[in-house]
Chain A
Amino acid sequence: MDDQTVKGFIETRDPELFRAIVEEYQYRVFRLVASVLGPWTDLDAEEVTQEVFLRVYQKIGQFRGESDFGSWLQRVAYTTALNHRQLARIRLPHDSKGSISIESEENPLARLLDSVARSRVASILEELPGLYRTVVYLYYWQECGIAEISRSIGAPEGTVKSYLHRARERIRKKLERDVDAGRDRRQQ
């Protein structure tokens, strides 16, 4: 996207230019919004993405051109999605025993443990700090590369790698604590 399109839209408010901007940034904003909301919210990421662009349309006068337009847009998207997430209902997967079929050819106990573990991992991911959680969802759920995440959150690639590393460390610590607690219970 060239700067002229954005400048042209700021000056003229031409709907065609706005449409060009939406076409250029829609997928990047959508992935960011979806990752801020997370895989377990009851919100529609497309609706929130549309709200982001409507806000951009209204507040474009506040964009002073001091920073890159993409970074400004990313901040609007992140804030809007975060506000929605705070009001959203998070439905984490539950370890339903009903979903385990005894006739299954696989080991039912292994599947049950797997289901419990998945539910626990989901809650650990949801407990991560906002930015770490977003980066983790962008990487593992939306399957974005480091470069793409870097563009999406407006941070250097090294910072993205660092966020991922710290997030993994937090996940590891919690999982290891769970494993230790389980082992202690078995030994008693």
Chain B
Amino acid sequence: MNERMNDETIDRIVRDAVQGRPRGALSPFFAARTANSAQTASVERDVGARSRGGSVFLAIYWFLVLGTTIMMIAPYAASGTGRVLFAILVPLGFALTLYGRELVTGLVRIVAVRVE
């Protein structure tokens, strides 16, 4: 290699390579749109966190209530009545743990309508 490319040559080569590629631009209402999106996302996050917190609380509540009930009837598990009670309470426990929140909300709504 006899000659060495100087900085001007490199500048021109690089400019040639990237020129013509769209540089892009921000839309006119970018700031307003971004501020709105941030606020909406923040509200959604808060609601989601509260909802998750409520579900966890209900799951613990039903776990304790049903756990205590099952412990109380455990001595009678050997009898026929005990087995029937277990057969009812265990699936009920799972259902309430998973859907307790909806069940309670539904019951409250039914009661509220009756009272009205």
List chain A positions with a Cβ less than 8 A from chain B. 13, 15-16, 18-19, 22-23, 26-27, 30, 34, 39-40, 44-46, 49-50, 53-54, 57-58, 114, 117-118, 121-122, 125, 136-137, 140-143, 168, 171-172, 175-176, 179-180
CA distance A45 to B36 in the complex (A): 19
**Main SS class of interface, A:** helix
CA distance A114 to B36 in the complex (A): 47
Which residues of B are found within 8 Å of A140, using beta-carbon distances? Answer: 11, 14-15, 18
Beta-carbon nearest neighbor of B13 in chain A = A121
Q: Contacts A22-B30, A140-B14; is A34 near B24 (CB within 8 Å)?
A: yes
On whether the beta carbons of B13 and A50 are closer than 8 Å, the reply is no
Which residues of B are found within 8 Å of A53, using beta-carbon distances? Answer: 34, 38
CA distance A75 to B87 in the complex (A): 58
Which residues of A are found within 8 Å of B7, using beta-carbon distances? Answer: 168
On whether the beta carbons of A40 and B15 are closer than 8 Å, the reply is no
B72 within 8 A of A: no
On whether the beta carbons of B10 and A172 are closer than 8 Å, the reply is yes
**Separation in Å of the B2 CB from the closest CB of chain A?**
10
**Separation in Å of the A137 CB from the closest CB of chain B?**
7
Task: Give the size range of B's interface with the partner.
Answer: 20 to 34
Which one, A54, A114, A125, contacts B14 given CB within 8 A?
A125
On whether the beta carbons of B1 and A22 are closer than 8 Å, the reply is no
B37 within 8 A of A: yes
B4 within 8 A of A: yes
**Main SS class of interface, B:** helix
Beta-carbon nearest neighbor of B45 in chain A = A58
On whether the beta carbons of A141 and B1 are closer than 8 Å, the reply is no
Which one, A40, A141, A143, A175, contacts B13 given CB within 8 A?
A175
**Separation in Å of the B108 CB from the closest CB of chain A?**
33
CA distance A142 to B36 in the complex (A): 28
Which residues of B are found within 8 Å of A121, using beta-carbon distances? Answer: 13-14, 16-17
Which residues of A are found within 8 Å of B33, using beta-carbon distances? Answer: 50
On whether the beta carbons of B17 and A122 are closer than 8 Å, the reply is yes
CA distance A74 to B26 in the complex (A): 17
B114 within 8 A of A: no
Tell me the residues in window 13-66 of chain B with beta carbons closer than 8 Å to chain A beta carbons. 13-18, 21-24, 26-27, 30-39, 41-42, 45
Which one, A117, A142, A175, contacts B5 given CB within 8 A?
A175
Beta-carbon nearest neighbor of B33 in chain A = A50
Which residues of A are found within 8 Å of B13, using beta-carbon distances? Answer: 117, 121, 171, 175
Which one, B21, B37, B42, contacts A39 given CB within 8 A?
B21
**Most chain A beta-carbon contacts within 10 A, residue among B1, B22, B35, B42:** B35
On whether the beta carbons of A176 and B1 are closer than 8 Å, the reply is yes
Q: Contacts A15-B38, A39-B18, A57-B38; is A141 near B31 (CB within 8 Å)?
A: no
